[in-house]
Amino acid sequence: MIYLDNNATTPIFPEILNKLKEWGEIFGNPSSIHSLGQKSRKEIEKARLFLSEVFQADTEEIIFNSGATEGNNTIIRGLVEAYPDKNEIIVSPIEHKSVLNPIKFLAKKGYKVKFLRIDKNGLIDLDDLKKKISKKTLFVSVIHTNNETGVIQDINAIYEICKEKEVLFFSDIVQGFLKEDIDFKKIDFFTLSGHKFNAPKGIGIMKRDKSKKLTPLLFGGGQEFSIRSGTENIIFILAIVEAIKTWLEKRDLFINHLKELKKLFIEELKKAIPNIHIVSENVKTAPHTVNIIFPNIRAQDLVLFLNKNGIYVSSGSACSSGSLSPSHVLLAYGYSEKESLSSIRFSFGVNNKIKDVYKTVEALKEGIDKLYKFGLN
Ligand SMILES: Cc1ncc(COP(=O)(O)O)c(C=O)c1O
């Protein structure tokens, strides 16, 4: 099997799988005052302290939750609820659905939403951002690294504009975290998700600016500084921190490996299939992601052909795959529906081997030849 869908999810590190049983034995409720509860509390606070150092944030600014969908919803809806005097949000058109859909929900309720312009490489227009911010703007939301194309935004420049205009800056850093150098101090609110970096699904982290109000989505026992009530998921909190530690320890090795795989893949693919189009080719993209348009091919057919050959990739974003609608991200870039439906995202992971690249290119060539020959496209 060749798994090239690491932006959808990643396999859990084997060392983490091995430790789940041991961590599962730390079962006391962290809110209990007896020693079993306090043992759990200590583990969670140790994890939070470690993260506060990674993010150069206060421990009270680190919130554990179930993942980035929850984090994104919490921030968007929580800020809007907390600051009713502002009624405007500015957002990029290439956000993940877990950002776009809560914002669309607010728009239906009468909230003003302004979409930023992006260029043909997927970079947001900073002048447009400057012009769009008004006295009524509550926050600007721009995804750090796009999950479909890998394009990386100039987060520092966006932050400077937001600060100059006194608005909050929120970024979904799910795909950029650990793969890119991020100046965490330059994002007021951000979200990330464990299963994108070899921790289990269902665990995420959110960073808030504690000097700002945020109304919780969930009310209850007041856990996580009353921002996210619910008994803490100790096993997965320990797992996500372990995955981050592993990534940080091996970061250079991992990143260089991902870069090498991606570079080789693009070189080999261009040789084998010269008429491909690489999305965001001329700008900085994540080391593990490349999105390719195969002209006149239905991506869905190619994905299924690769699947038969034990190669797993995604057409469009995994969260919306299964549907035939073109990717909202590629449409926002200015690609046609047809081009968008001809795109495949290849996302590498630390377990991929050089030989996976050669096998995938070979299979793509064979698949495309077949699709042309038998007119399946
Ligand atoms: C950029 C981005 N944001 C948010 C999410 C949602 O994360 P989760 O699966 O933790 O809810 C994903 C996952 O597909 C993603 O790629």
Question: Is residue 320 over pLDDT 60?
Answer: no
Question: Is residue 8 over pLDDT 90?
Answer: yes
The residue whose CA is least distant from atom 10 of ligand 1 is 67
Which of 201, 228, 249 is the endpoint of a domain?
249
Mean predicted lDDT score pLDDT of the chain: 96
Please indicate whether residue 147, judged by its CB atom, sits closer than 6 Å to ligand 1: yes
Output DSSP code: residue 274: T
Please report the pLDDT score of residue 318 as a whole number: 47
Between the CA of 98 and the centroid of ligand 1 the distance, in Å, is: 7
User: Both 267 and 217 in a single domain?
Assistant: no
Percent of the residues in the chain that have a pLDDT greater than 90, as a whole number:
95
3 state DSSP class of 365: helix
User: What strands lie across the sheet with 343-347, from one edge to the other?
Assistant: 277-278, 289-293, 343-347
User: Both 208 and 151 in a single domain?
Assistant: yes
Please indicate whether residue 360, judged by its CB atom, sits closer than 6 Å to ligand 1: no
Between the CA of 310 and the centroid of ligand 1 the distance, in Å, is: 25
Q: Which residues contact 272 (CB under 8 A, 6 or more apart)?
A: 361, 362, 364, 365
Atom of ligand 1 nearest to the CA of 193: 10
Please indicate whether residue 148, judged by its CB atom, sits closer than 6 Å to ligand 1: no
User: Both 103 and 213 in a single domain?
Assistant: yes
The residue whose CA is least distant from atom 4 of ligand 1 is 68
Q: Residue 253: which region, alpha, beta or left (left: phi > 0; alpha: psi -120 to 50)? A: alpha
> Of the listed 20, 319, 331, 376, which one is catalytic?
319
CB 144 within 8 A of CB 172: yes
Please report the pLDDT score of residue 372 as a whole number: 82
User: Both 155 and 117 in a single domain?
Assistant: yes
Q: Which residues contact 95 (CB under 8 A, 6 or more apart)?
A: 103, 141, 142, 143, 172
Total domains, the chain:
2
User: Both 59 and 23 in a single domain?
Assistant: yes
Integer Cα distance of 176 and 249 in angstroms: 17
User: Both 122 and 221 in a single domain?
Assistant: yes
Please indicate whether residue 68, judged by its CB atom, sits closer than 6 Å to ligand 1: yes
The residue whose CA is least distant from atom 11 of ligand 1 is 69
User: Both 288 and 180 in a single domain?
Assistant: no
User: Both 86 and 214 in a single domain?
Assistant: yes
DSSP, residue by residue, 234-249:
HHHHHHHHHHHHHHHH
Q: Output the domain CATH number for residue 320.
A: 3.90.1150.10
Question: Is residue 319 over pLDDT 50?
Answer: no
Between the CA of 53 and the centroid of ligand 1 the distance, in Å, is: 24
> What is the per-residue pLDDT across 130-179, written as a single tens digit (0 to 9) for each?
999 999 999 999 999 999 999 999 999 999 999 999 999 999 999 999 99
User: Both 204 and 325 in a single domain?
Assistant: no
Burial 93-132 (b: 16+ CB within 10 A, else e): bbbbebbbebbeebeeeebeebbbbbeeebbbebeebeeb
* Closest to 102 measured CA to CA, from 139, 150, 156, 153: 139
User: Both 142 and 275 in a single domain?
Assistant: no
> What is the per-residue pLDDT across 273-293, written as a single tens digit (0 to 9) for each?
999 999 999 999 999 999 999
Q: Are strands 204-207 and 189-193 parallel, antiparallel or unpaired?
A: antiparallel
Which of 227, 249, 271 is the endpoint of a domain?
249
Please report the pLDDT score of residue 131 as a whole number: 98
- Alpha-carbon 253 to chain mean position: 21
Residue 275 burial class via C-beta count within 10 angstroms: exposed 0-12, middle 13-18, buried 19 and up = exposed
Please indicate whether residue 67, judged by its CB atom, sits closer than 6 Å to ligand 1: yes
Per the annotation, the verdict on 162 as an active-site residue is: no
Q: Output the domain CATH number for residue 144.
A: 3.40.640.10
CB 63 within 8 A of CB 206: yes
Please indicate whether residue 137, judged by its CB atom, sits closer than 6 Å to ligand 1: no
Which of 234, 249, 264 is the endpoint of a domain?
249
User: Both 256 and 239 in a single domain?
Assistant: no
- Structural domain including 196 reads 14-249
The tokens of 73 are what?
A: 């919803």
Q: Which residues contact 82 (CB under 8 A, 6 or more apart)?
A: 212, 213, 214, 215
Between the CA of 96 and the centroid of ligand 1 the distance, in Å, is: 7
* Closest to 193 measured CA to CA, from 64, 345, 78: 64
Between the CA of 276 and the centroid of ligand 1 the distance, in Å, is: 28
Please indicate whether residue 78, judged by its CB atom, sits closer than 6 Å to ligand 1: no
User: Both 55 and 193 in a single domain?
Assistant: yes
Q: Are strands 168-172 and 189-193 parallel, antiparallel or unpaired?
A: parallel
The residue whose CA is least distant from atom 13 of ligand 1 is 8
φ/ψ (deg, to 5) at 290? -145, 135
Between the CA of 280 and the centroid of ligand 1 the distance, in Å, is: 21
Integer Cα distance of 92 and 318 in angstroms: 20
Output DSSP code: residue 162: H
The residue whose CA is least distant from atom 7 of ligand 1 is 68
End-to-end CA distance of the chain: 25
Length of the chain: 377
Please report the pLDDT score of residue 377 as a whole number: 46
